[in-house]
Amino acid sequence: MCMKMYLVDGMYLGNRLIGYEVYSPKGHDFIGLTEKQIISKLKKDEKVYGFILGEEDGKEVLKLDAEGFNMSNLQLKTGVNSLSWMNEDSGSDMNMELIVVAVSGDKKRIYETVNARHARVEYSEDKLRMMMELGVPVAGVRLEKNKLVICEGVEVSGAGEEVKEGA
């Protein structure tokens, strides 16, 4: 069985990409992977939610999965305690991004998130919706008609039929 991983941030040394950090819910840990390692995992149909394989000039490249996982932007670690955005013109003034990795609960849903500062924080549905309305990029769920729709890859537990997973 392949291990689920979630893209958290990119790591740069000066102007050079050195890798990405991903979150592994199995061990509740953050792991550093190179671009080559992630491409290899995706080729083997292993999941790294937040990335899809693309092609540029006949070469395989990593692209953010905006459609499937709602990963529209990515935080980059560019130095000690320094975060910036991959797409600076994304319209977000907030210096945080949340990645939803799990949802639990029947009537009162709790959304477990991780971020580039290696924090694991749980949000109620109302608080997560408020964060999204304030402009915080949130991957793993999308807001449709004022309801949170869960993307593929987010673990759902203890939820009844009212929680619908997106394709």
d(CA 5, CA 51): 10
List pLDDT tens digits, range 129-143.
Answer: 999 988 889 999 998
Q: How many residues does the chain have?
A: 167
In the listed set 40, 55, 86, which residue is the last one of a domain according to the structure? 86
List pLDDT tens digits, range 26-57.
Answer: 889 999 999 999 999 999 999 999 999 999 99
In the listed set 86, 109, 131, which residue is the last one of a domain according to the structure? 86
Phi, psi of 132, rounded to the nearest 5 degrees: -65, -40
DSSP 89: G
Residue 116 token pair: 């580039």
- State whether 105 and 49 are in the same domain: no
Residue 6 token pair: 């979630």
Does the pLDDT value for residue 20 go beyond 90?
Answer: yes
In the listed set 51, 68, 86, which residue is the last one of a domain according to the structure? 86
- State whether 22 and 79 are in the same domain: yes
- State whether 105 and 75 are in the same domain: no
The average confidence (pLDDT) of the chain is 87
Domain total of the chain: 2
Does the pLDDT value for residue 147 go beyond 80?
Answer: yes
List the domain range (segments joined by +) for residue 73.
5-86
Q: Single out the residue of 147, 145, 151 nearest to residue 165, CA to CA.
A: 151
What pTM value is reported for the model?
0.85
